């Protein structure tokens, strides 16, 4: 047996760019056993070179250090993911701020959601174009409450088709107790959280929104 076997082992272990069967890769314990066997069966008349022994034990130490480092990094990654997940769970019950604009396609209706914190008695939604000109008003249906879907037929107040583009939503309403409320379009309560493929998504209404689409998370009244 020669030191070439150990050198080949080190090379194959360190070569992370080659796809191999995991069972064909020897770990640090196998590396040490191989070295001990080589020492045991070495030719007494031609003992192993001391420098080569030191080189191989150094390679063994390097291999063990790499394995321990990988385990530490894995633990740190898992801990970071767990902390992130706990933070996402803590957001349930808070409010998320999303995009406050809606997109209208040419000659097409569009729908959007508004969260009414109290049951609506009477109210109006105002839709503005990018020049801040009002193009449409929509009466809010009495009894609306919570996350409610509103449909705009794409028409202006004059009955014409509104131009395709982005529009801003504003409005106000009075609840059953005659208390006035301003509509904060784009703000919704977070009802749940989902973890899929390492990504966090928040349940808002009947859909899950990626964290990247949320500009702010805050508590009511904050």
- Asked whether residue 128 falls in the same domain as residue 105, the answer is yes
- Asked whether residue 101 falls in the same domain as residue 52, the answer is no
pLDDT in tens, 21-63: 444 455 556 666 766 666 666 655 555 555 666 676 666 667 6
The residue length of the chain stands at: 222
3-state secondary structure 140-192: CCCCCCEEEEEEECCECCCCCECCCEEEEEEEEEEECCCCEEECCCCEEECCE
Closest CA to 85 of 190, 188, 196: 196
Where a domain ends, among 46, 68, 89?
Answer: 89
Dmax of the chain from CA atoms?
A: 106
How many whole angstroms separate alpha carbon 14 and alpha carbon 33?
18
Give me the mean pLDDT over the 79-102 stretch.
76
Q: What is the pLDDT of residue 47?
A: 57
Give me the mean pLDDT over the 119-128 stretch.
97
Q: What is the pLDDT of residue 81?
A: 59
How many whole angstroms separate alpha carbon 194 and alpha carbon 210?
9
Looking at the predicted structure, is the pLDDT value of residue 72 above 90?
no
How many whole angstroms separate alpha carbon 120 and alpha carbon 104?
26
Cα distance from N-terminal residue to C-terminal residue, the chain: 74
Give me the mean pLDDT over the 180-194 stretch.
90
Q: What is the pLDDT of residue 132?
A: 93
- Asked whether residue 37 falls in the same domain as residue 125, the answer is no
Total number of domains in the chain? 2
pLDDT in tens, 161-174: 999 999 999 999 99
Question: Taking all residues of the chain, what is their mean pLDDT, rounded to a whole number?
Answer: 78
- Print the domain residue range for 119: 95-218
E strand or H helix at 203, and its extent? strand 199-204
């Amino acid at each position: 047996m020669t030191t070439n076997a150990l050198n080949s082992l080190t090379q194959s272990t360190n070569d992370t760019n080659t796809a191999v069967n995991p069972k064909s890769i020897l770990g640090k314990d196998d590396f040490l056993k191989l070295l001990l066997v080589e020492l045991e069966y070495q030719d007494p008349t031609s003992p192993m070179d001391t420098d080569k022994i030191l080189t191989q034990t150094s390679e063994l130490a390097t291999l063990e250090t790499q394995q321990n480092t990988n385990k530490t990094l894995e633990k740190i990654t898992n801990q970071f993911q767990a902390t992130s997940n706990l933070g996402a769970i803590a957001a349930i019950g808070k409010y998320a701020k999303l995009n406050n604009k809606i997109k209208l396609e040419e000659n097409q209706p569009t729908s959007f959601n508004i969260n009414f914190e109290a049951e609506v008695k009477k109210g109006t939604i105002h839709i503005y174009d990018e020049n801040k000109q009002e193009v449409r008003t929509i009466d809010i249906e009495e009894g609306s409450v919570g996350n409610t879907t509103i449909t705009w037929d794409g028409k202006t107040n004059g009955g014409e088709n509104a131009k395709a583009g982005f529009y801003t939503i504003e409005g106000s309403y009075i609840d059953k107790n005659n208390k006035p409320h301003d509509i904060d379009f784009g703000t919704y309560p977070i009802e749940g959280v989902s973890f899929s493929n390492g990504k966090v998504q928040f349940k808002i209404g009947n859909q899950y929104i990626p964290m990247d689409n949320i500009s702010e998370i805050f508590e009511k009244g904050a």
